[in-house]
């Protein structure tokens, strides 16, 4: 492990600070983008699947502990999201995924998985329609996260987070 | 055997790590009510909130003029209501004295400010800058000048996490102030609904909903919201009452923690019925 692989752990707290103080100001009907997920996906593509899976679980458990959500729910959802993002981490295609709009596609896919798993554990109720859960709790936040993630594309990745 | 395991590890290590972490998450999910886990959580959010409180002060000062304007308006309205209520209060006290009822209205209010918000459609929580040091305990209701906001979920030395009404885990016993009918109100991720209300029960659009004295969580009447819509499907036995809360949960900044927790003596006595 080199020092660059420690950067995501260092930026976790500033990101979480943004997530709980500034991001609520741009919420739309309680729907907010997930900065932590964007970071997990980015570093998962950059450093590989195993790294992404472990990073997802660390980000998830810290978020659960600090934000007061159901302990283990974010850990599970972000672990799986990091794992899926890792599939787009091949040596040959890494640049392509991090520098093009393919990144937003990966974000959308991972955000959809992340929010679907999170919602399943935090909001499952037999009275609620499964389609409604997926639409309200999963699809809409995923779209918002995807839109915000396009900002990452403005930053050249070799000068930015790497 | 070792060679087989070594081969399996090198071929499937990503999946092995994923499985281990998923199992660990599921174990943690089952340990949410564990006292030790609650302590670790209190330390974690307490430490982080110290940093967040400095940060959020910068943002809240930018909106202070707007909030002052709102508070002045609310203050003027409340002043008018107070003089009216004072009259009612005196009469009420005299009547209570006559029939020997105990007064339960004096509730201590602990002021607090929101230092961070965790917005989620199903698990909406906020962190306040008041904790065990200020006598805040889990289970205390949180209000502002408009009405009920939520309940204290856990507390550290200086900070507390509050589950707001927009949290699917918070279900409240409420009542219609006009018709005195009780029901269970919950957040379903989209709207506040009072569920399983028989069709013959008297609910009208615009009725005020307050917390019920029967509630094991909030045993004092606190304003919650107004009846917004009544779903009365002919083929169903019950109707669903949609409620619009008095409080705008997304913009709350300054609020009060009501310094009461439900009496354990009362709870134990009530639970005797089930033994």
| Helices A35-47 and A140-149, packing angle to 10 deg | 60
Q: What is the pLDDT of residue B17?
A: 92
**Model confidence pLDDT, tens digit, residues B209-255:** 988 877 766 767 888 899 998 887 777 778 888 999 988 888 788 88
Tell me whether B120 touches chain A (CB under 8 Å).
yes
Secondary structure (H, E, C), chain B: CHHHHHHHHHHHHHHHHHHHHHHHHHHHHHCCCCHHHHHHHHHHHHHHHHHHHHHHHHHHHHCHHHHHHHHHHHHHHHHHHHHHHHHHHHHHHHHHHHHCCCCCCCCCEEEEEEEEEECCCCEEEEEECCCHHHCCCCCCEEECCCCEEEEEEEECCCCEEEEEEEECCCCEEEEECCCCCEEEEEECCCCEEEEEEECCCCCCCCCEEEECCCCCCCCCCCEEEEEEEEECCCCCCEEEEEEEECCCCCCCCEEEEECCCCCHHHHHHHHHHHC
| Closest Cα in chain A to B167 | A123
Q: Is B175 on the interface with A (CB under 8 A)?
A: no
Report CB contact under 8 Å: B189, A133: yes
Nearest CB to B120; choose among A61, A69, A72: A69
pTM strictly above 0.80? no
pLDDT for the residue B197: 84
From the list B113, B45, B248, B274, the residue with the least C-alpha distance to A17 is B45
Q: Using a CB-CB distance cutoff of 8 angstroms, which residues of chain A are in contact with residue B127?
A: 20, 68
How would residue B62 be classed by pLDDT, with cut points 50, 70 and 90?
A: low
SS3 sequence of A91-106: CCCHHHHHHCCHHHHH
Match 């289970």 to its residue by tokens: B139
| Chain A partners within 8 Å of B195 (Cβ) | 127
Mean pLDDT of A71-91: 90
Identify the top-confidence range among A50-64, B100-114, B177-191.
A50-64
For residues B222 and A88, what is the distance between their CA atoms, to the nearest angstrom?
52
Average pLDDT over residues A19-40: 87
Q: Is B103 on the interface with A (CB under 8 A)?
A: no
Contact A128 B189 (CB under 8 A): yes
Task: Kindly report each contact of residues B11-14 with a partner whose C-beta sits within 8 Å and lies 24 or more positions away, as own/partner.
Answer: B13/A50, B14/A49, B14/A50, B14/A53, B14/A83, B14/A86
Taking all residues of chain A, what is their mean pLDDT, rounded to a whole number? 84
> Which of B153, B189, B195 lies at the smallest CB-CB distance from A68?
B153
In angstroms, the separation between the Cα of residue B228 and the nearest Cα of chain A is 18
Q: With an 8 Å Cβ cutoff, are A66 and B45 in contact? A: yes
Pairing of strands B208-211, B160-167: unpaired
Write the DSSP symbol of residue A44: H
Q: Please, which pLDDT band fits residue B19 given cuts at 50, 70 and 90? A: very high
CB contact under 8 A, B118 and A67: yes
Between positions 6 and 25 of B, the ones with CB within 8 A of A are 13-14, 17-18, 21-22, 24-25
Subunit contact B32:A71, Cβ cutoff 8 A: yes
Average predicted confidence (pLDDT) for chain B:
81
Decide if B52 touches A, using CB distance below 8 A.
yes
Reported ipTM: the value is: 0.86
Q: How confident is the model at residue A125 (pLDDT cuts 50, 70, 90)?
A: low
Residue A53 confidence class, pLDDT cut points 50, 70, 90:
very high
Q: Could you read off the pLDDT of B24-38 as tens digits, one per residue? A: 999 988 887 788 888
| B275 pLDDT above the threshold of 50 | no
Tell me if chain A has a CB within 8 Å of the CB of B208: no
Cα separation, B262 vs B216, in Å, equals 7
Residues of B in contact with A13 (CB under 8 A): 48, 51
Q: Work out the pLDDT band at A155, boundaries 50, 70, 90.
A: low
Give the pLDDT of residue B59: 67
For CA atoms A125, A80, B154, A24, give the dihedral sign: negative
The predicted pLDDT at position B103 comes to 57
Residue A124 DSSP one-character state = -
Asked whether residue A33 carries a pLDDT value surpassing 80, the answer given is yes
Q: Which long-range contacts (CB under 8 A, 24 or more apart) does B131-137 make?
A: B131/B46, B131/B155, B131/B156, B131/B157, B131/B158, B131/B159, B131/B160, B132/B156, B132/B157, B133/B157, B133/B158, B134/B110, B134/B257, B135/B110, B135/B259, B136/B110, B136/B112, B136/B160, B136/B257, B136/B259, B137/B261
Q: What is the pLDDT of residues B122-154, one digit of tens each?
A: 778 888 888 888 888 888 889 888 888 998 888
> B87 pLDDT band (50/70/90 cuts)?
confident
Q: Does position B262 have pLDDT exceeding 80, yes or no?
A: no
């Amino acid at each position: 492990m080199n020092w660059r692989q420690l950067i995501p752990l260092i930026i976790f707290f500033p990101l979480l600070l943004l997530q709980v103080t500034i991001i609520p100001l741009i919420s739309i009907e309680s729907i907010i983008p997930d900065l932590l997920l964007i970071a997990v996906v980015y570093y998962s593509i950059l450093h590989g699947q195993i790294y992404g899976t472990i990073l997802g679980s660390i980000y998830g458990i810290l978020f659960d502990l600090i934000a007061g959500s159901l302990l283990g729910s974010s850990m599970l959802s972000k672990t799986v999201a990091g794992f899926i993002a890792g599939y787009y981490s091949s040596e040959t295609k890494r640049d392509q995924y991090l520098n093009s709009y393919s990144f937003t596609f990966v974000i959308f896919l991972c955000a959809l998985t992340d929010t679907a798993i999170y919602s399943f554990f935090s909001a499952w109720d037999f009275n609620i329609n499964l389609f409604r859960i997926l639409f309200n709790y999963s699809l809409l936040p995923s779209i918002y996260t995807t839109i915000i993630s396009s900002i990452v594309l403005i930053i050249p990745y070799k000068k930015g987070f790497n | 055997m070792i060679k087989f395991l070594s081969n399996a590890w090198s071929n499937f290590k990503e999946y092995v790590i994923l499985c281990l972490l998923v199992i660990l998450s599921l174990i943690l999910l089952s340990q949410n009510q564990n006292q030790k886990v609650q302590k670790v959580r209190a330390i974690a959010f307490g430490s982080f909130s110290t940093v967040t409180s400095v940060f959020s002060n910068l943002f809240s000062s930018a909106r202070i003029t707007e909030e002052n304007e709102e508070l002045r308006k609310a203050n003027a309205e409340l002043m008018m209501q107070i003089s009216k209520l004072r009259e009612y209060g005196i009469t009420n006290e005299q009547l209570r004295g006559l029939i020997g009822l105990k007064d339960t209205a004096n509730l201590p209010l602990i002021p607090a400010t929101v230092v961070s918000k965790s917005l989620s459609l199903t698990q909406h929580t906020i962190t306040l800058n008041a904790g065990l040091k200020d006598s805040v305990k889990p289970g205390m209701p949180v209000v502002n000048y408009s009405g009920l906001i939520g309940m204290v979920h856990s507390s550290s030395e200086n900070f507390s996490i509050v589950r707001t009404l927009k949290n699917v885990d918070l279900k409240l016993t409420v009542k219609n102030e006009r018709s005195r009918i009780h029901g269970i109100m919950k957040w379903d991720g989209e709207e506040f609904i009072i569920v399983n209300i028989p069709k013959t029960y008297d609910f009208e659009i615009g009725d005020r909903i307050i917390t019920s004295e029967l509630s094991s969580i909030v045993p004092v009447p606190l304003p919650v919201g107004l009846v917004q819509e009544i779903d009365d499907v002919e083929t169903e036995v019950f109707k669903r009452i949609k409620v619009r809360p008095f409080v705008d949960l997304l913009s709350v900044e300054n609020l009060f923690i009501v310094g009461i927790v439900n009496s354990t003596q009362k709870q134990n006595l009530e639970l005797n019925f089930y033994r």
